[in-house]
Amino acid sequence: MSLRLGDIAPDFTAQSTEGEIKFHEYLGDGWGILFSHPADYTPVCTTELGKTALLKEEFAKRNTKVLAVSVDPLDSHFGWRNDINETQNTNVEFPILADPEKNIATLYDMIHPNASEKATVRSLFIIGPDKKVKLIITYPASTGRNFTEVLRVLDSLQLTANHSVATPADWTHGEDVIVVPAISTEDAIQKFPKGVKVVKPYLRYTPQPNL
């Protein structure tokens, strides 16, 4: 059975390049990103892990821990990590989980038989402090992920979790947001002192409230 938004992210214990990881315990009360790779020593994966390492400070600012997972064994991960550091001019410090028995891949439905019976697809999960799945993105093995988009979505999720707003198409941090339909315009004017712009009764904008 596949995971859906709002489900509790399955807990697991696994070995990684940073030692044993107990997933829920490792995340603590912060946010988490778990993302899978078809295999070690593959070109697209190498660029993805390198990009993630380069964004270390961005994830830290968002109180978010990142973990990669591959069905290859741990000793392979160590060698591959060296290659990533060398070719991407970075230093991978986040855990790369070893999943040779495909336990994590099975828990998170990362094996799509019609795409590949052996390799995991490029699945990415954002998990909130309540350990619930907030986002699922799945790419084919041939397409590298856009980590600028991952950060954008993370900003939106963290904002909308704490304020009665939604984010419009192509929104980025600092831009106006949408007042959720559950709040009347009268209440919105009281709730958002920076102002409310009414385009339609159901379409109302306000400046980002947490700035």
Task: Compute the average pLDDT of residues 10-17.
Answer: 97
Please indicate whether the domains covering 13-143 and 163-206 agree at the CATH topology level: no
Query: CB of 97 within 8 A of CB of 67?
Result: yes
CATH 3.30.1020.10 holds for 163-206: yes
What's the pLDDT at 120? 58
Q: Give the start-to-end residue ranges of the domains of the chain.
A: 13-143, 163-206
What's the pLDDT at 114? 47
Determine if the pTM surpasses 0.75: yes
How, if at all, do strands 197-200 and 13-16 pair?
Answer: unpaired
Which homologous superfamily is 13-143 in?
Glutaredoxin (3.40.30.10)
Counting other chains too, the contacts that 130-136 makes at CB distance below 8 Å and 24 or more residues apart are 131/8, 131/9, 131/11, 131/24, 131/27, 132/6, 132/7, 132/8, 132/9, 133/3, 133/4, 133/5, 133/6, 133/7, 133/8, 133/9, 134/5, 135/5, 136/3, 136/4, 136/5
Q: Is the pLDDT of residue 135 over 50?
A: yes
What's the pLDDT at 119? 57
What's the pLDDT at 58? 98
Note the pLDDT tens digit of each residue in 17-43. 999 999 999 999 999 999 988 888 989
Q: Which of 9, 21, 33, 45 is catalytic?
A: 45
What's the pLDDT at 53? 97
Hey, how many other C-beta atoms are within 10 angstroms of the C-beta on 204?
A: 22
> Alpha-carbon distance 126 to 100, whole Å?
23
Task: Compute the average pLDDT of residues 76-94.
Answer: 97
Task: Compute the average pLDDT of residues 44-59.
Answer: 96
> Alpha-carbon distance 4 to 40, whole Å?
27
147 given a catalytic annotation: no
For residue 178, the number of C-alpha atoms closer than 13 Å in the C-beta half-sphere is: 15
Query: CB of 94 within 8 A of CB of 55?
Result: no
